[in-house]
Amino acid sequence: METGHGIKYRQLHIEDYLREIPAEQGRETGEYAHERITGNPDTNTDFRTDNLLDTILRSDNLNAAYKKVKTNKGVGGIAGMQVDELLPYLREHQSELVEQVREGKYKPNPVRRVEIPKEEKGKTRKLGIPTVVDRVIQQAIAQELTPLYEEQFSDNSIGFRPGRGAHDALERCRKYINEGYVYVVSMDLQSYFDTVNHSKLIEVLSRTVKDGRVISLIHKYLKAGVMEDGGFHATTEGVPQGGPLSPLCGNVMLNELDKELERRGHKYVRYADDCLILCKSRKSAERTMENIVPFITGKLFLKVNLQKTTVSHVSKIKYLGYGFYRHKGKCRMRIHPKSVAKMKNRIRELTTRGNKWSNQEREEKLRSYARGWINYYRYADMKSLMEQTDEWLRHRIRAVYWKQWKKVRTRYKMLRALHLPEWKVHEMANCRKGVWRAAGMLNSALTKRIIVDRLGYPDMTAHYLKVRVNY
């Protein structure tokens, strides 16, 4: 009988099916064969970009790409193959696949169109889901391009970069606001990922990537098309969101904007296509907006939504779900009202009395959502909001339970289990009030202690006080 350790070892060995190159030649040591071949350290970068496809197709890089795709999971593309079917396919077809890519004969599949709702009511974000095989190849490309471009990207570019997140962007905003940059140009790039100019992107990529085979492969992905409503649609512009290459290509394009803003001496923060330019006066901000829009439209061939591109005081803006305000001369962050509304709508969905979840499922979903939401907004000053939300949430939970206790005898049974006096049990069990009003009556029965400690529902205030960031 095979031990658990043996099974784990065998699984790791199987998943390293692509790893044929010794570890000392791979990324484990940070040494690469091409760096030793060149001999001259001054030529390393040129050699690396001139022969980039060979590096991308290295077994260790492809194996790492497969593992990343497997970890990320996700739905399959138009081919129908799912992530859990990927390993057997690659083990059988790896040589053929690598050879096709190397010889320039590989043809990417069209992406599958998926639409997800945006915050604005009635609007959706279009995703393009590549096949799982295309995801592996894109991931392999991204893994080798990322270190090249990380050397070039600005510190003010935050989104979709290793080791950086939304909180870093917010902290940088707070730093600039504390320095007196309190008027903001909020740039709105209209449908950015859907309108990236292919020719311009290829031109920008070619400045760094000197291997024409890689440029050609990326171009094929850009032109692969979309399957939507049962038909094929050609793609003449845009970088479909949903593949591993999209975030990197998006940042490569907007790095041109970053360089222009820095050349002009502006303070700015960019999280993907969500860009703020911070100025010390309204007049300066208005002048900045007038001057930068022609660069974006005329040089980068991107579309600016002039109705949504605005100049405002920092106290009026929403950025990454947060708002800003000044207290005792310092910038502080709060949760934006739209983010509060979105949170409450989600809690309503999770506590709707008509859904089919068990109480345990509801508790797990609420606890998971509350923890993730608070962890993201832990920089905001929101103790009183959490206290109010807790009271409201517990009222909704009581309403759910009261709705479940439809019959009088069920109410007797459940209320007695809560060790209430018999007169109280009789009074509450025979209550004829509506569900919401009856839930208020349950305060003395389903107490906070029972709801949180015994039933396991979240205490949002307690978790917030545990994780909040003091600055």
DSSP labels for 430-460?
A: T--S-HHHHHHHGGGTS-HHIIIIIT----H
Question: Quick one: pLDDT at residue 49?
Answer: 65
For 215-229, the pLDDT digits (tens) are 999 999 999 999 988
Q: Name the phi and psi angles at 397, rounded to 5.
A: -65, -45
Question: Quick one: pLDDT at residue 266?
Answer: 98
Which residues are CB-neighbours of 466 under 8 A, at least 6 positions away? none
Question: Quick one: pLDDT at residue 46?
Answer: 55
Question: Quick one: pLDDT at residue 454?
Answer: 94
Please tell me which residue, 195 or 18, carries the higher pLDDT value.
Answer: 195
Question: Quick one: pLDDT at residue 18?
Answer: 44
Question: Quick one: pLDDT at residue 79?
Answer: 81
Question: Quick one: pLDDT at residue 45?
Answer: 46
Hey, is 325 helix, strand or coil?
A: strand
Question: Quick one: pLDDT at residue 48?
Answer: 61
pLDDT at 12 over 80: no
Q: What is the mean pLDDT of residues 379-390?
A: 98
Q: What is the mean pLDDT of residues 1-22?
A: 40
Of 237, 235, 225, 233, nearest to 200 (Cα)? 237
pLDDT at 70 over 90: yes
Q: What is the mean pLDDT of residues 329-346?
A: 96
- pTM (2 decimals)? 0.83
Please tell me which residue, 185 or 352, carries the higher pLDDT value.
Answer: 185
386 in Cβ contact with 460 (< 8 Å):
yes
63 in Cβ contact with 18 (< 8 Å):
yes
Q: What is the mean pLDDT of residues 29-48?
A: 38
End-to-end CA distance of the chain: 56
The percent of residues above 70 in pLDDT, for the chain, comes to: 89
In terms of C-beta distances under 8 Å and separation of at least 24 residues, what long-range contacts does 11-14 make, across chains too? 14/87
pLDDT at 322 over 50: yes
**Half-sphere exposure at residue 278, Cβ-oriented, CA atoms within 13 angstroms:** 22
In terms of average pLDDT, the best of 107-121, 262-276, 410-424 is 262-276
Confidence label for 13 from pLDDT (cuts 50, 70 and 90): very low
Confidence label for 318 from pLDDT (cuts 50, 70 and 90): very high
Place of tokens 């934006």: 336
Hey, is 419 helix, strand or coil?
A: coil
Question: Quick one: pLDDT at residue 22?
Answer: 31
Within 10 angstroms of residue 375's Cβ, the number of other Cβ atoms is 12
Residue 243 per-residue DSSP state: B
Q: How far is CA 261 from CA 192, 200, 257, in A?
A: 18, 19, 6
Q: Which residues pair with 186 in a beta bridge?
A: 276, 310
In terms of C-beta distances under 8 Å and separation of at least 24 residues, what long-range contacts does 464-469 make, across chains too? 464/374, 464/378, 464/382, 464/383, 464/386, 465/383, 467/374, 467/375, 467/378, 468/378, 468/379, 468/383, 469/378, 469/379
DSSP labels for 178-209?
A: HTT--EEEEEEBTTHHHH--HHHHHHHHHHH-
Per residue, the 3-state secondary structure of 69-119, as one string, reads: HHHHCCCCCCCCCCHHHHHHHHHHHHHHHHHHHHCCCCCCCCEEEEEEECC
Question: Quick one: pLDDT at residue 19?
Answer: 39
Burial class (CB in 10 A: 0-12, 13-18, 19+), 208: middle
Place of tokens 């009261």: 402
62 in Cβ contact with 136 (< 8 Å):
yes
Query: What is the CA angle 29-153-127, rounded to 5?
Result: 95
Please tell me which residue, 187 or 121, carries the higher pLDDT value.
Answer: 187
pLDDT at 86 over 50: yes
For 126-176, the pLDDT digits (tens) are 889 999 999 999 999 999 999 999 999 999 999 999 999 999 999 999 999
Q: Is the dihedral of CA 98, 101, 105, 110 positive or negative?
A: positive
Of 271, 471, 470, 456, nearest to 371 (Cα)? 456
Q: What is the mean pLDDT of residues 279-296?
A: 98
pLDDT at 379 over 80: yes
pLDDT at 287 over 50: yes
pLDDT at 6 over 80: no
Distance CA 370, CA 380 (A): 15
pLDDT at 36 over 80: no
140 in Cβ contact with 245 (< 8 Å):
no
Confidence label for 105 from pLDDT (cuts 50, 70 and 90): very high
Confidence label for 20 from pLDDT (cuts 50, 70 and 90): very low
Distance CA 413, CA 31 (A): 70
Q: Is the dihedral of CA 301, 302, 308, 309 positive or negative?
A: negative
Question: Quick one: pLDDT at residue 97?
Answer: 95
Within 10 angstroms of residue 233's Cβ, the number of other Cβ atoms is 12
Q: Is the dihedral of CA 70, 73, 75, 77 positive or negative?
A: negative
pLDDT at 33 over 60: no
Q: Which residues pair with 326 in a beta bridge?
A: 331
pLDDT at 386 over 50: yes
351 in Cβ contact with 366 (< 8 Å):
yes
Q: How far is CA 401 from CA 339, 358, 440, in A?
A: 28, 11, 12
The percent of residues above 90 in pLDDT, for the chain, comes to: 73
Place of tokens 């790492």: 64
Question: Quick one: pLDDT at residue 25?
Answer: 33
Q: Which two tokens stand for residue 138?
A: 């894109």
pLDDT at 44 over 50: no
367 in Cβ contact with 457 (< 8 Å):
yes
Distance CA 353, CA 403 (A): 7
Q: What value does the mean pLDDT of the chain take?
A: 89
Question: Quick one: pLDDT at residue 32?
Answer: 32
For 205-255, the pLDDT digits (tens) are 999 999 999 999 999 999 999 998 889 999 999 998 999 999 999 999 999
Confidence label for 29 from pLDDT (cuts 50, 70 and 90): very low
